[in-house]
């Protein structure tokens, strides 16, 4: 009987390991997507800034053209960035839960205690990791929104007031 339970636990552990590898690949893909979006956004905003710093083509009354372009670019960027970061957060959260399940399963295989609960509770370290992750996302979004605000201000002030 113990051999059957141990074999079942080991096959479950192999299954969790496979799921974790797939989740890790998906997580890395979302990280790369968010980084690529951010780099593209900054480069695009830089191109807008360079175009408005060349005052020979645009006059003060044309300030709404780069402003609208920058605003539209910012809205599209933030929607796609939020989706990528949200997906990344949930994938990372599920990966953390799977790792905790895997660790609890290893403990069961080694000791066979019947009193262990089926679902291990989140430990303090995991909770701190989740809070740190959410804080990082919040700080990054606030910084990018600040950058967008500076860009929108620059669209009018560079054309109408110069550098």
Each residue's pLDDT tens digit, 46-79: 998 888 887 667 777 888 888 999 999 999 999 9
Q: How far is CA 17 from CA 78, 90, 96, 102, 107, in A?
A: 34, 18, 12, 8, 15
Residue 25 or 105, more confident: 25
Quote the pLDDT of residue 127: 75
User: pLDDT tens for residues 107-153?
Assistant: 766 666 555 455 445 566 767 877 888 899 899 999 999 999 999 89
Q: In the prediction, which pLDDT does 83 show?
A: 93
Q: Which residue has the higher pLDDT, 112 or 17?
A: 17
Whether the predicted pLDDT of 162 surpasses 70: no
Per-residue pLDDT at 163 = 60
Exposed e or buried b per residue across 97-128, where buried means at least 16 C-beta atoms within 10 angstroms of its C-beta: ebbbbbebbeebeeeeeeeeeeeeeeeeebee
Helix/strand/coil for 103: helix
Residue with tokens 């636990």: 9
Residue 41 and residue 142 in contact, taking contact as beta carbons nearer than 8 Å: no
Between 121 and 93, whose confidence is greater? 93
The H or E element containing residue 157 is helix 124-161
């Amino acid at each position: 009987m113990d051999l059957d339970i141990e074999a079942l636990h080991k096959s479950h552990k192999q299954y969790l390991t496979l799921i974790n590898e797939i989740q890790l690949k998906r997580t890395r893909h979302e990280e790369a997507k968010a980084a690529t979006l951010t780099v593209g956004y900054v480069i695009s905003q830089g191109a807008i800034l360079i175009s408005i710093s060349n005052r020979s083509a645009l006059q003060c009354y044309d300030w709404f053209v780069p402003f609208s372009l920058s605003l539209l670019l910012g809205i599209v960027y933030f929607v796609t960035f939020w989706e990528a970061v949200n997906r990344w957060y949930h994938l990372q959260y599920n990966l953390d839960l799977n790792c905790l399940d895997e660790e609890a399963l290893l403990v069961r295989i080694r000791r066979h205690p019947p009193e262990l609960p089926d679902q291990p509770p989140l430990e303090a370290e995991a909770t701190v990791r989740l809070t740190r992750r959410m804080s990082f996302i919040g700080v990054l979004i606030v910084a990018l929104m600040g950058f967008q605000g500076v860009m929108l201000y620059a669209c009018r002030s560079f054309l109408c007031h110069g550098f």
